[in-house]
A and B are shown apart, each in its own frame.
Chain A
């Protein structure tokens, strides 16, 4: 108990801060911060597995998040029958051809010795394959994109409940991570960082511009929800009764019947959105807790010890007979899959998929700030980092505004400097993140909650 005191203290302070937001701003804001904190926590757990356990640097978090989001779309949207009949055949044929091409290349690589001729043949196969696939897919893509472009213009998905996409998102991200890991994990640390950063940009470029699959920058809106809709809630009796019970003390003060009714309506409208957010919080909390238990178990298992050994001294671990390449690949896939879950959760919560919103600053570098600030190698630290950093990221603007007003109190309200500073308040979050990261790295390089390994 005693040694976990700092963990408990840190988490209670964090919860206290969120509750303070609930009291002083609104419960709606507090809960939306809390939900995104939970999603960030899942992302940081993924990044922490890679960086904290194994020392792999993955700057491609954005790409895996986006793939998770894509999974949410492909699982939950109803299939567009017309689009399938218009171009489905061509797309399936191209998919089949891509698989065939990969198999042929693999066959050549496996069965022939390395030589110049082999390289040329592989290159020729790939180029020929791409040309053929383009010829086949182009009419299909055009046909699909012409099916009611304002509303659909894409193949749609499977029409299943969106919850399934959390698992599928993990598989998508894990699959991509497998491919990336196969080719890039041999690189030196900083090369790996740059390579993954650029690969994630390629992923985003594909998601943005392949309209037949993702609707691209036209966005997919109105995804199904695992939680009830506010409008429906506002008309169900049990919910109205519940809200009435909760606010009975306030409502009893109002004597006029019509006024009481309108006040109740107001409470119901507010209550419904809080209730929906609570539903999401519950779902996300379940995911976070399951992942936390699994990752903690893994950390203290023989496998976790092996990972740390590999991280701390690759050569020694190799000499002890551990397969470093295989373990690196495994952990890269696992961590990325967790990030994929987070991506699907994020799209589930927003109810929309906007490929244009995936930017490296928000989805890669911010997550890294969370891991470093929270404490890499320690799951509780990583989760705390997700909470703290996301909380500051959202609350930086109000804090910035307060500071600006404080420092420029002596100036006239129309003074150009004050006006300019107030306009640029949203950017104080970058400043806060940067300074926070630099300070933590300098004075507490292991994070708020450092890694603790018990040696018995």
Chain B
């Protein structure tokens, strides 16, 4: 029985949170990787673009709430996401037309494009803060828990409760659907294949009659969808604050590079690698060992490898190690 308790404990505090956090990172990381693979620059505006999309989700959620539309047990935000995506994609296409296109046609080095993306980052940040303000916003409504800790205890008669938030389930399901659609799109459809070809060898792709304008536009549209949904899921699960989103750019970059930048499947897994290692290394295992070990061997300390303060530092250290030993990432990068 103790053993089952220990498993439930790990599930509750490590597995479920890491899985949902990892999904959010994975969506962001695929976004980074797509931009890097096809448009060939590191997009430092990632976090702010995500917050821009989330802002529209929130605005539409408020609107729906004010007119009394809701989805019952599901959060209203799900209904708002498609509308937000339209605005987000529009914003991205406008930015591309007025900012990035010039440097792309001039074939500027990637570093210059990265610098330009910093300018975009500042502008996006300003727009978000001017429209919705810098404060913390919660926009979650509907049923909060799928399984409550207390109910679970009653149901199974165990000591440890397992609480599963509905946002966590929504996050994981939506991520799985979105990512599998994306891979289907990249691998099976003609546009997806031409995107991969363009990423692999631009000149050859152009020679075979692939229209670069179409590729770039599709990339921005996919990126907009990923950014909006990723941001909205993070905001539903935690809360929306522009500054947090800006900071999230860092673990997202870590995930993208760990997975091999330019490789969407790697980025997808990289998100989970980062999330799991952050939580595994900073979790205090005391209670787990109390269940597993006999009473005489119970530990006195917290058995925590690193204090939770170093949560971010963990993912960055992993990244630095990966960069040093396998700069192309765990999975080979730059193959879309």
Report whether chain A binds chain B: yes
Which residues of chain B are near A194, meaning CB under 8 Å? 42, 253, 257, 319
B90 at the binding interface (Cβ < 8 Å)? no
0/1 interface trace, chain B 100-123, chain A, CB 8 Å (1 if under): 001000000111101110111111
- Provide the main secondary structure of the chain B interface: helix
Centre residue among A189, A194, A208, A430 by max chain B CB count within 10 A: A194
- Beyond A208-B309, A434-B126, whether A198 also contacts B116 by CB under 8 A is no
CA distance A361 to B41 in the complex (A): 20
Give which listed residue, A183, A206, A428, A429, contacts B320 with CB less than 8 A.
A183
**Chain A residue at smallest Cβ distance from B134:** A427
| Interface residue? B248 (CB, 8 A) | no
Q: How far, in angstroms, from A423 to B133 measured CA to CA in the complex? A: 9
Contact A193 B120, CB 8 Å, known A199-B320, A201-B316? no
Q: Does B145 lie at the interface of the complex (its beta carbon under 8 Å from any beta carbon of A)?
A: no
Distance A249 CA – B220 CA, assembled complex (angstroms): 66
Q: Is B99 an interface residue (CB 8 A)?
A: yes
B122 touches A434 (CB 8 A): yes
Check if A110 is an interface residue, CB within 8 A of chain B: no
Size band of the interface chain B makes with A: 35 or more
From A184, A431, A441, contact of B123 by CB (8 A): A431
8 A Cβ contacts from A426-444 to B? 427-431, 433-435, 437-438, 441-442
A141 CB, min distance to chain B CBs, angstroms? 11
C-alpha spacing A206/B310, complex, angstroms: 8
Asked if A250 is an interface residue, CB under 8 A from chain B, the answer is no
Judged by a CB distance under 8 angstroms, whether B313 is at the interface is yes
- From known contacts A190-B114, A421-B130, A438-B99, infer whether A198 and B253 are also in contact, taking CB-CB under 8 Å: yes
Q: With A191-B327, A201-B250, A202-B313 in contact, do A431 and B320 touch (Cβ < 8 Å)?
A: no
Chain B residues within 8 Å of A403, by CB: none
Considering only residues 16-69 of chain A, those with a C-beta below 8 Å from chain B are: 57
Query: Does B216 interact with chain A (Cβ within 8 Å)?
Result: no
Q: Chain A at the B interface: mostly helix, strand, loop or mixed?
A: helix
The answer to whether A124 has its CB under 8 Å from any CB of chain B is no
A187 within 8 A of B: yes
Within 8 A of A (CB), among B282-316: 307, 309-310, 312-313, 316
Q: Do A190 and B118 have beta carbons less than 8 Å apart?
A: no
Whether A264 is near chain B, meaning CB under 8 Å from some CB there, is no
Task: Please determine whether A434 and B312 come into contact, CB atoms closer than 8 angstroms.
Answer: no
Which segment of A100-108, A297-305, A334-342, A364-372 sits at the interface? A364-372
User: What distance in Å separates the Cβ of B48 from its nearest Cβ neighbour in chain A?
Assistant: 10
Question: A66-110: which have CB < 8 Å to B?
Answer: none
B129 at the interface (CB under 8 A from A): yes
B51 at the binding interface (Cβ < 8 Å): no
Q: Tell me if A428 and B42 are in contact (CB < 8 A).
A: no
CB distance from B245 to the nearest CB of A (A): 12
Q: Does B323 contact A (CB under 8 A)?
A: yes
Interface string of A199-234 (1 = CB under 8 A from B): 101100110110000000000000000000000000
> Complex: how many Å from CA A428 to CA B126?
6
Shortest CB-to-CB span from A126 to chain B, Å, is: 11
* Contact string against A for B residues 124-147, beta-carbon threshold 8 Å, 1 for contact and 0 otherwise: 111101100110000000000000
Question: Is A195 an interface residue when CB atoms closer than 8 A count as contact?
Answer: yes
- Shortest C-beta distance, A106 to chain B (Å), equals 16
**B9 beta carbon closer than 8 Å to chain A:** no
B1 at the interface (CB under 8 A from A): no
CA distance A197 to B320 in the complex (A): 11
| Residues from chain A with Cβ under 8 Å of B41 in the complex | 190
User: Are A205 and B309 touching (Cβ within 8 A)?
Assistant: yes
Are A198 and B316 in contact (CB-based, < 8 A)?
Answer: yes
A binding-site residues for B, Cβ under 8 Å: 57, 183-184, 187-191, 193-195, 197-199, 201-202, 205-206, 208-209, 361, 365, 368-369, 372, 421, 423-424, 427-431, 433-435, 437-438, 441-442, 445
For this complex, 15 residue pairs linking A to B, each with C-beta atoms less than 8 Å apart, are A57-B111, A183-B320, A191-B323, A191-B327, A194-B257, A198-B320, A205-B312, A208-B309, A427-B129, A435-B123, A437-B118, A437-B119, A437-B122, A438-B99, A438-B116
Given contacts A188-B327, A430-B125, 4 further A-B contacts (CB under 8 A): A198-B319, A428-B130, A431-B126, A433-B122
Closest 10 CB pairs of A and B: A434-B122, A434-B123, A430-B126, A431-B126, A437-B119, A198-B316, A427-B129, A209-B309, A438-B119, A190-B42
